[in-house]
Structure formats: C-alpha cells, structure tokens
Amino acid sequence: MPLKSNIDRHDTDILILGTGGAGLFAALHAQQSAPAGTKITIAVKGLIGKCGCTRMVQGGYNVALGGGDTVERHFMDTIQGGKWLPNQDMAWRLCEQAVVRVRELENEVGCFFDRNPDGTLHQKAFAGQTADRTVHKGDLTGIEIINRLMEQVLSRPIEKLQEHRAIGLIPTKDGSALAGVLTIDMRTGNFRFVRAKTVLMATGGGPTMYKYHTPSGDKTMDGLAMALRAGLPLRDMEMVQFHPTGLLAGDHTRMTGTVLEEGLRGAGGQLISHSGQRFMFDYDGRGERATRDVVSRGIYAEMRKNNNPEQEGVFISMAHLGPDNVRKKFKGMVNRCADSGFDLAAGKVEVVPTAHYFMGGVIVDVDTRTALEGLYVAGEDAGGAHGSNRLGGNGVANSTVYGGIAGDTMGMDIRKMEALRDPDEDVLSSEIDRARHPLTKPPALVQPLRQKLQEVMWDDVGVMRNEIGMERGLKRIAEISDELTEIGVAPDNLAFNLTWHDWLNMRSLCDISEAITKAGLSRENSRGAHFREDFPGPGDMDASNYTVARQSEGVVEVTRESVDFSIVRPGETILPEDEPETLVAQQ
C-alpha cells in the first residue's frame, strides 16, 4: 500500500485530542479566548459524548462551597491524601478554580445537580476528606456533565473528527516544537496528519492493563504512550489508583471491575469478609472511610487470607441503612447490581479492588503547557495535581478545571503564533511504519496477549508490590511485547478493522506497563497508591521526591526530582489556627 495514496494532510489552528470533560471544556474556552476566525478541531477515538472516562463518573465533583468548608481545607486534604507528592501550585489551582467551574457548569453549561431543601447544592461525604464537599447528580454525575457539554460543543462551529485515533506526536525538523498529530481515520483505515499551531492532549488515562479495571476497553493510555515516544518527561508513573469496590460478577461479563461508587461507603456501607466479619477497622481507624489506597490494601489483604478460589473478593453491605433508602439514594448502583444478578439494597455484593485512575502523566505547568512548544496536556494525561493518591471527587474537578485553563491558554498563546509548522517527515514516516507493522505479519488473535498482560500486571505490579515481583513482571512484559511484534492483522480491509486497533491498543498498554513497573522499582518506599511490601515505610516526607520517566532510543529510564513545597511543608498547615483540625462529615 503506497504511502502517498493513504495519507491525508489537514490543517487547523487549535487541535484538541479527546472529548471527555477536559477536551470539551477546552473547546468551549478556546472558542471564547482565541481570535475571531480561529479554526478549532476536536478529534476523538470514538464518538463525541459517548466515550471517555468522564461519562463514567458516578460519585461527584469536589468543591468547597462553605458551610465550614474552605478552599484551604480542600487543598490540605488533597496534599495529605497525595502523601505530600502533589505539585502544590497545581493542587491549589484545582481547589480554587473548582468553585468557579461548578458555577459555570450550572449557569452556562446547563448541568442540574442535586439540591438541599433550601436550594443549596447537596454535597455528600467522600473518603479521605474532612468535609462533605462532593456535588453530584445522584450517582450518575458524569453522564449529566458530559451530556450537557456535548450539547454545547455540538451546537458550535467546531470541526469534529470523530473516530479518528491519534497515534503520533510529530515535531518540527529541529525538534523544538510540535508540528501536528498523526491520526488514523478509523472509518476508512487511512492516515491523516493534522497540522496545528496548538495541540491539547486530553485523551484520558485508562489503566486497562490490569485484570480488574473500571474504564472501557478502548481506553489504553494512547496519549501517554505517544508522549513517551516523543521524549517528554512523565512523572509519578508508578501511581496507579485502585478503586476499592469494583463489582465482581465473574469472567463471563465485562461488568466485572466496574465501580460501585465511593458514596456507598461514605453513606455508611460496610465491607464484610467471607467469614462474615467487618474488617476495615483492623487496618485504619477511619474504617471504610479511609482513602482509596488504604481500603484497597485492606481488601487485598483479606483476599489473601482466603484460600477458596470461588470466593475471591469481599462483600459490601448496605442493607442496614434500609433497602428503600438505598434504592432512593443510589438508584444507578442498585440497577447496575441488579443487571448482574445482585441486590445491593437488601443483600451483599462481592467486590474487588479495580484499576481505576492514573495519577501519573506528562509534566506540565499550571497553565497546562509542556516542555514541547505547541503541546498542552490536561485531565488524566497530566501528572502532578494528585501526587500519589487522588481523592474521590477530585477527578472530574481536575478535568473540567484544567480543560478550561488549557482552552484559555491556547486561545491566548495562538495570538503569538503566525504560521503552522512543517513536520519532520522522517518522524512522520516512522510513525506510519510503526502503525503498519502488524499489517506485515501473519494474522493472529491479540486478545490472549492482552489477558496475559492483565494477569502479569495484577499479580506482579498491582495493589501490593515488591522487587522480586516487579522484576519478574518487567521480564514478562518484555516477553509479551516481543510476542506482539510477531503477530499481525490481515491488511485486506482496514476500514473499521478492530483487530488492527486491538493491536495498537496493546502496543500502548505494553509501553506504559513497562514505564509503570520501572517507576515502581525506582521508588523504594510506600506512598499512596504505590505500596511496597519490601519498603513499607513512607520515607522522609521532608525529602519527598517524584519519579520522572523518559524514553530515549526506545529505552525507558527513570530518575527522581525533589518535590517543591511551594505552599506548605510536611508538618505545617494553611488552615486558620482557630479552625478545628477535623470537620466530621455528616451523614
């Protein structure tokens, strides 16, 4: 298939990759901040509003709206929850701007959130937080936000490239700036190179390289894999968040691994072992309301105690809160469990820790700029805001806050950019050859390799880690990667060739799995989501550092950099002296 016959060249001014909360908010803000006549294009692997992780958000949106809560309190919870590893300037801006963004979601985007009888926004309890600050729409908050954003974007003169998969960041010849992005038009199988003055990478995370995971299978860390190949620095790559309560419904259904939201535990849900005992207070004084990393490890420890292969997880029980009350407050969760044959309201539901969110990502500044001119990153692709552990409710806040900031920043920066940049044609050809590689190999199934990778990551680089396991995992990842290079896809018809895209998905997952494992080996202490049984202590908080992974000539290397305590140091607080140390969350 000749190269010239299947590549299209396309120009725009602002290109946004991804249509989750970050991408859609960026499109709206870019339209407001950019000069008149600026061409804005959004490209998405699937369909606008129908893919991505924001749509899957159940719990809610963290924002300090008074009633004893403050931005300072939200910030301190975020820093302490992240075990002093967050970029403090990013965390502060997240907490501060969440107040602005939630009003924008209501008054400009058109979201309807649940309210109290007096008309104020209802805010529920989430684990690891000292106030009830999680705004929500029942337990289907993400659907409300993404549907309203989708309506706004679809009504605007914004170019939409749906079912366009981004596969490569293409720099200029001298490597000083980004020229554009290579994509595949999945509807035809043809390559399309999109030049742009500014590019936002908001493709989301999606740690689906684990046996149990919450995101849909098409979320495969493509953005971070592209950034790694482009030589960009990625921080905190070892920090994979496991949500404690993923539905365990059996290998026969993809419902296994999907989240039973944190609000269940915030409302008083109890975790019960197979022996019928409530166990979380054995691991933390906060019980089921401890942070996600602590609860996940508690569940995993209980799972280890059980030698019956037919009883893998533990149970969550809500019946003591009253079945009718549970059905009313958690309609979405009750229906989800009922679809899988479980009664959440009156019975017990088996759960297991499930890979949920990725705290690591591209190193950015507080305005979402990266080390590569013309490239911006927001949402789950960006590292720094959460450190080693994300508080429930901070994810969708992070996406919408920094999506809006990215749109504003690109709209301003583009005023100083006079012309589109020419790409390095050698890099462009190399990325095309890389994507076409499986078309030159004997066809074979990719899914067995993906299942093998998921077992490796769950067993060796999962909830609890150690050097022996991660070294073994690194070797097994390399073996799987080598196997992948030897299997291929029939090149007869590339239009909607899902096997080809399965191969590309797997390539991204292998690359990021290697980075996760090497970063995990580098961190010889336990912080947040990263727990090493051979180094269980957190290390010196005052000497905190974060990992930085880079790829050069195909080899991933990990270094360390010191955390900048720009606002508050370990042992200090920015709360007023007369404010109580804890504000007990109300039921």
Contacts of 447 (CB under 8 A, 6+ apart): 502
Residue 45 has a pLDDT of 94
Residue 243 has a pLDDT of 92
Report DSSP state, residue 52.
S
Instruction: Specify the amino acid at residue 278.
Output: R
Task: Give yes or no: 320 in active site.
Answer: no
Q: Which helix (H) or strand (E) holds 27?
A: helix 21-33
Q: Are strands 7-11 and 40-44 parallel, antiparallel or unpaired?
A: unpaired
Q: Where are the alpha helices (DSSP H) in 320-384?
A: 323-329, 331-339
The answer to whether residues 175 and 394 touch, using CB atoms and an 8 Å cutoff, is no
Residue 251 has a pLDDT of 77
Confidence of residue 580 (pLDDT cuts 50, 70, 90): low
Residue 259 has a pLDDT of 85
Task: Count how many Cα atoms sit within 13 Å of the Cα of residue 446 in the half-sphere of its side chain.
Answer: 21
Contacts of 411 (CB under 8 A, 6+ apart): 14, 29, 30, 31, 32, 33, 34, 35, 38
Query: What spatial distance separates the first Cα and last Cα of the chain, rounded to whole Å?
Result: 63
Tokens (6 digits) for 121: 């926004």
Residue 4 has a pLDDT of 40
Residue 205 pLDDT exceeds 70: yes
Residue 577 has a pLDDT of 65
Percentage of the chain beyond pLDDT 70 is 97
Confidence of residue 582 (pLDDT cuts 50, 70, 90): very low
Residue 178: how many other CB atoms lie within 10 Å? 26
Confidence of residue 62 (pLDDT cuts 50, 70, 90): very high
Average pLDDT, the chain: 93
Residue 530: how many other CB atoms lie within 10 Å? 27
Residue 417 pLDDT exceeds 60: yes
Residue 254 has a pLDDT of 78
Task: Give yes or no: 243 in active site.
Answer: yes
The answer to whether residues 93 and 401 touch, using CB atoms and an 8 Å cutoff, is yes
- Specify the pTM: 0.94
Residue 128 has a pLDDT of 83
Map out the domains of the chain as residue ranges.
244-355, 438-542
Residue 578 has a pLDDT of 60
Residue 9 has a pLDDT of 97
Taking only the tens place, the pLDDT of each residue in 466-502 is 999 999 999 999 999 999 999 999 998 999 999 999 9
Environment class of 565 (CB within 10 Å of its CB; exposed 0-12, middle 13-18, buried 19+): middle
Cα torsion through 40, 99, 78, 260, rounded to 10 = -80
Residue 441 has a pLDDT of 96
Residue among 207, 204, 208 at smallest CA distance from 447: 208
Alpha-carbon distance of 256 to 246, in angstroms, equals 7
The answer to whether residues 205 and 221 touch, using CB atoms and an 8 Å cutoff, is yes
Instruction: Specify the amino acid at residue 297.
Output: R
Q: Quick one: CATH architecture of 244-355?
A: Alpha-Beta Complex (3.90)
| Phi-psi map region of 116: left, alpha, beta (phi>0 left; psi -120 to 50 alpha) | beta
Count of residues for the chain? Answer: 587
Tokens (6 digits) for 548: 């930085």
Looking at the domain that runs over 438-542, which CATH code has it been given?
1.20.58.100
Residue among 385, 403, 394, 361 at smallest CA distance from 87: 385
Residue 579 has a pLDDT of 64
Tokens (6 digits) for 215: 């995101």
Residue 1 has a pLDDT of 38
Taking only the tens place, the pLDDT of each residue in 150-174 is 999 999 999 999 999 999 999 999 9
Residue 138 pLDDT exceeds 90: no
Confidence of residue 586 (pLDDT cuts 50, 70, 90): very low
What angle do the packed helices 467-485 and 447-460 form, to 10 degrees?
170
Please tell me which residue in 101, 136, 265, 289 is annotated as part of the active site.
265
Percentage of the chain beyond pLDDT 90 is 83
Taking only the tens place, the pLDDT of each residue in 78-119 is 999 999 999 999 999 999 999 999 999 999 999 999 999 999
Residue 220: how many other CB atoms lie within 10 Å? 29
Alpha-carbon distance of 283 to 500, in angstroms, equals 45
- CA 85 distance to own-chain centroid: 17
Query: 557 - beta bridge partners?
Result: 550
Residue 401 has a pLDDT of 97
Confidence of residue 307 (pLDDT cuts 50, 70, 90): low
The answer to whether residues 396 and 59 touch, using CB atoms and an 8 Å cutoff, is no
Confidence of residue 33 (pLDDT cuts 50, 70, 90): very high
Please tell me which residue in 243, 289, 292, 297 is annotated as part of the active site.
243
Q: Which segment of 14-28, 129-143, 371-385 scores lowest on mean pLDDT?
A: 129-143
Q: Tell me the mean pLDDT in the region 255-274.
A: 89
Residue 57 has a pLDDT of 81
The answer to whether residues 202 and 149 touch, using CB atoms and an 8 Å cutoff, is no
Q: Which helix (H) or strand (E) holds 556?
A: strand 555-562
Contacts of 294 (CB under 8 A, 6+ apart): 283, 284, 286
Confidence of residue 144 (pLDDT cuts 50, 70, 90): very high
Residue 396 pLDDT exceeds 60: yes
Residue 443 pLDDT exceeds 80: yes
Residue 583 has a pLDDT of 42
Residue among 99, 52, 97 at smallest CA distance from 215: 52
